[in-house]
């Protein structure tokens, strides 16, 4: 299930190519495409390449797989990261749907983001995921109180609020996240991993109980998952 790449360049190129192909297919079929990207440090080289893809970016909508409940002015903002890394150059004309919105509670922001995504009227065409060392994808954290909800088949709203963990548990602050059924309905899900540690975490999580393990749940839901790995971190 894991595809190995000899260099970080080849890995980033392959991930960007898969995502661009999925977006191009949607654009050819429907004249529109919906992309969701991850935060964290892993995706930046992939975004840099994807931003150069020869696509009708003005017909693409981009959103996030998860977000800290912070405004774009925060260094923690995934929206700011995506805008900097992907929505630039040829991709600058892409419409962006944020998960965060100001002056409301995290759950209200989740409801607003869910409405905005529902208004797109389509499943995600391409998703770029990273994975934390604890096996989390999006803001679905193994062992967190919200996980069972986020993994529930048939969940209707796309986006949920995630409270900060208690007593040092993840996540350190409130977040917004896509849920498992939304991810699983995507047409292409690229999980980009680097380094021996993440590979071992992925293998452990893939063999876990789908009821309590986000990666195992994604596999069990038959998501069109492509796992791209390179040793170089
Ligand atoms: O905003 C986030 O935190 C992410 O969307 C998250 O799911 C990320 O992909 C992992 O935490 C891996 O992060 P790294 O790529 O930095 O290891």
> What CATH number did the domain enclosing 46 receive?
3.40.50.1360
Burial class (CB in 10 A: 0-12, 13-18, 19+), 44: middle
pLDDT, position 105: 95
CA of 16 to the centre of ligand 1 (A): 17
Mean predicted confidence (pLDDT) in 132-140:
98
Tokens 């995507």 identify what position?
Answer: 186
CA of 60 to the centre of ligand 1 (A): 23
Whether the model pTM is above 0.90: yes
- The protein residue with its alpha carbon nearest to ligand 1, atom 4, reads 39
Number of Cβ within a 10 Å radius of residue 216: 20
In this model, does residue 46 exceed pLDDT 80?
yes
Q: What is the atom index within ligand 1 of the atom nearest the CA of 68? A: 1
CA of 156 to the centre of ligand 1 (A): 24
Q: What is the pLDDT of residues 16-26, one digit of tens each?
A: 999 999 999 99
> How far is it, in rounded angstroms, from Cα 79 to Cα 63?
8
Question: What is the pLDDT confidence band of residue 1, given thresholds at 50, 70 and 90?
Answer: confident
- Enumerate residues lining ligand 1, CB below 6 A: 38-42, 65-66, 78, 130-132, 136-138
Q: What is the atom index within ligand 1 of the atom nearest the CA of 198? A: 17
CA of 129 to the centre of ligand 1 (A): 8
How many domains does the chain fold into? 1
Contact, 22 vs 208, CB < 8 A?
no
Q: What is the pLDDT of residues 138-162, one digit of tens each?
A: 999 999 999 999 999 999 999 999 9
Cα 30 to its chain centre, rounded Å, is 22
pLDDT, position 233: 84
In this model, does residue 186 exceed pLDDT 90?
yes
What residue numbers bound the domain in which 35 lies? 2-230
pLDDT, position 45: 98
């Amino acid at each position: 299930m894991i595809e190995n790449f000899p260099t970080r360049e080849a890995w980033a190129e392959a991930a960007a190519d898969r995502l661009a192909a999925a977006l191009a297919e949607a654009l050819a079929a429907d004249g529109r495409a919906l992309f969701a990207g991850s935060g964290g440090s892993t995706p930046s080289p992939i975004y840099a390449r994807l931003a150069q893809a020869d696509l009708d970016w003005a017909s693409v909508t981009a959103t996030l797989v998860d977000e800290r409940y912070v405004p774009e002015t925060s260094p923690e903002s995934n929206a700011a990261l995506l805008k900097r890394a992907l929505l630039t150059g040829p991709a600058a004309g892409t419409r962006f749907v944020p998960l965060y919105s100001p002056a409301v509670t995290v759950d209200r922001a989740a409801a607003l983001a869910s409405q905005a995504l529902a208004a797109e009227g389509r499943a995600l065409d391409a998703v770029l995921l990273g994975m934390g060392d604890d096996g989390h994808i999006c803001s679905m954290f193994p062992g967190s109180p919200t996980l069972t909800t986020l993994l529930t088949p048939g969940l209707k709203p796309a986006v949920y609020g995630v409270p900060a963990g208690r007593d040092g548990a993840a996540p350190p602050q409130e977040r917004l996240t896509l849920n498992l059924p939304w991810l699983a309905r995507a047409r292409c899900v690229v999980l980009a991993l680097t380094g021996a540690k993440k590979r071992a975490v992925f293998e452990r999580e893939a063999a876990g109980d789908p009821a309590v393990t986000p990666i195992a749940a994604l596999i069990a839901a038959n998501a069109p998952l492509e796992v791209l790995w390179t040793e170089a971190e």
